[in-house]
């Protein structure tokens, strides 16, 4: 079968690989759609010590079960259409027992330690099947819509800490696909006002069809002044940093209203993980500051329900669908800002 294979830093090739075997307790999916994540782009450009090449990439997947050796109660059967939860937990550590498998000390991850979904067929390990990681989805909705469940689940995880409601004004820093998902979810949570902030005017222009309350170009300190003006001098009650930029984390604390909530969603590069923050903002403004990483299984299940909601604007989020052979083009579309979200159709 053909697959998009990570072969080392700067090298992803679409080539022939053997079809996967179905392990005892596991299943094999025929992949209908797989989104290309910013993590895939980062791996391509910078490498990733957690991935030993060659490895089939792709973790934002939806497909149909075509082989099964599963014996777990309630496991999907051949013919079921499912979306795929990415963490593969140990199932027994303190985090797994607390339903926080994203933090599992012994977790492995699809498309990192197991082959991913940028291929016609994708093996799902027995540990994933036992954990309930394959969530049945509608037979009628477009696969590209359903493949958004994985990144949306990560966004849902962050929003569980933010408690967004009708009195909130929300600023999302970073207008990539994740930032747009944050803004979309804030709108679905009935936030009073939602703005996107980004240093790239073309990227902000891609968000225009969503009808958010406004976009703000990050330049000098002008965007900080603009958001104060837009909120009557108070600042947004919720600020989400959906990019891996240390300066944006510092600005989020300055930007937020007194008593506000701030989420550091985007991790900083491991080669430069430090940020200089004004700690007085925590103290004098009584900010609640949280981080979020990956997603819990409950977050993923909620995301699966959300992407199947007719109000969810999937057709505006997925701007490009490409066949597998053109998968390397996705990186250029993403880096140029021409695409918001690229989805690959392997079959």
Give pLDDT, residue 347: 82
- Sequence spans of domains, the chain: 2-141+308-345, 161-291
% of the chain beyond a pLDDT of 90: 98
% of the chain beyond a pLDDT of 70: 100
- The encoded tokens of residue 260 equal 């506000």
Give pLDDT, residue 346: 95
Helix count (H) and strand count (E) of the chain? 13, 18
Domain 2-141+308-345 fold: Quinone Oxidoreductase; Chain A, domain 1 (3.90.180)
Whole-number Cα distances in Å, 276 to 141, 279, 292 = 45, 9, 19
Q: Are 83 and 92 in contact (CB under 8 A)?
A: no
Please state which of the four CATH numbers 3.40.50.970, 3.40.50.720, 3.30.70.1450, 3.10.580.10 is assigned to the domain occupying 161-291: 3.40.50.720
CA distance 57 to 63: 15
Tracing tokens 């593969």 back to the chain, one arrives at 88
β-pair type (2-8, 11-16): antiparallel
The pTM assigned to this predicted structure is 0.97
Query: Tens digit of pLDDT for each residue in 14-53?
Result: 999 999 999 999 999 999 999 999 999 999 999 998 999 9
Backbone angles phi, psi at 270, to 5 degrees: -65, -20
Query: Tens digit of pLDDT for each residue in 139-156?
Result: 999 999 999 999 999 999
Q: Are 223 and 247 in contact (CB under 8 A)?
A: no
- Cβ contacts of 334 within 8 Å, gap of 6 or more: 36, 38, 41, 342
Give pLDDT, residue 203: 92
- The encoded tokens of residue 165 equal 């409601």
Domains 2-141+308-345 and 161-291 share a fold: no
Tracing tokens 């506000």 back to the chain, one arrives at 260
Q: Are 296 and 304 in contact (CB under 8 A)?
A: no
The model's confidence at residue 99, banded by pLDDT at 50, 70 and 90, is very high
Closest CA to 319 of 148, 138, 86: 148
If one counts every other C-beta atom within 10 angstroms of the C-beta of residue 161, the result is 14
Query: Tens digit of pLDDT for each residue in 46-82?
Result: 999 899 999 999 999 999 999 999 999 999 999 999 9
What value does the mean pLDDT take over residues 154-179?
98
DSSP 217: E
**Distance separating the N- and C-terminal Cα atoms of the chain:** 10
The model's confidence at residue 270, banded by pLDDT at 50, 70 and 90, is confident
Burial zone of 232 (CB within 10 Å; 0-12 exposed, 13-18 middle, 19+ buried): exposed
CA distance 195 to 243: 15
Q: Three-state SS across 130-165?
A: HHCCEEECCCCCCHHHHCCHHHHHHHHHHHHHHCCC
Closest CA to 31 of 120, 140, 142: 120
Give pLDDT, residue 66: 98
Q: Are 295 and 153 in contact (CB under 8 A)?
A: yes
């Amino acid at each position: 079968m053909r697959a998009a294979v990570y072969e080392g830093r700067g090298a992803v090739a679409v080539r022939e690989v053997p079809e996967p075997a179905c392990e005892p307790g596991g299943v094999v999916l025929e992949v209908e759609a797989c989104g290309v994540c910013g993590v895939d782009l980062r791996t391509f450009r910078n490498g990733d010590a957690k991935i030993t090449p060659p490895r089939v990439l792709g973790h934002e997947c939806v497909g149909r079960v075509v082989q099964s050796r599963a014996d777990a109660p309630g496991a999907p059967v051949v013919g079921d259409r499912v979306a795929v939860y990415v963490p593969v937990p140990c199932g027994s550590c303190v985090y797994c027992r607390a339903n926080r498998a994203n933090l599992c000390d012994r977790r492995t991850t699809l498309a990192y330690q197991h082959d991913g979904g940028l291929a016609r067929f994708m093996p799902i390990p027995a540990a994933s099947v036992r954990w309930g990681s394959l969530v049945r989805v509608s037979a009628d909705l477009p696969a590209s819509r359903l493949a958004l469940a994985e990144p949306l689940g990560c966004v849902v995880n962050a929003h569980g800490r933010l408690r967004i409601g009708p009195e909130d004004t929300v600023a999302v820093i970073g207008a990539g696909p994740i930032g747009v998902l944050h803004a979309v979810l804030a709108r679905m949570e009935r936030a009073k006002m939602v703005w996107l902030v980004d240093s790239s005017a073309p990227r902000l222009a891609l968000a225009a069809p969503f009808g958010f309350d406004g976009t703000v170009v990050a330049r000098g300190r002008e965007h900080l002044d603009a958001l104060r003006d837009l909120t009557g001098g108070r600042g947004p009650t919720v600020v989400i940093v959906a990019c891996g930029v240390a300066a944006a984390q510092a600005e989020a604390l300055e930007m937020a209203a007194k008593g506000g909530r701030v989420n550091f969603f985007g991790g900083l590069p491991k080669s430069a993980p430090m940020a200089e923050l004004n700690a007085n903002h925590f103290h004098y403004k009584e900010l609640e500051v949280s981080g979020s990483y990956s997603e819990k299984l409950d977050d993923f299940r909620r995301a699966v329900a959300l992407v199947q909601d007719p109000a969810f604007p999937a057709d505006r989020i997925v701007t490009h669908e490409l066949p597998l052979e053109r998968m390397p083009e996705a990186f250029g579309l993403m880096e140029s800002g021409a695409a918001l979200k690229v989805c690959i159709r392997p079959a």
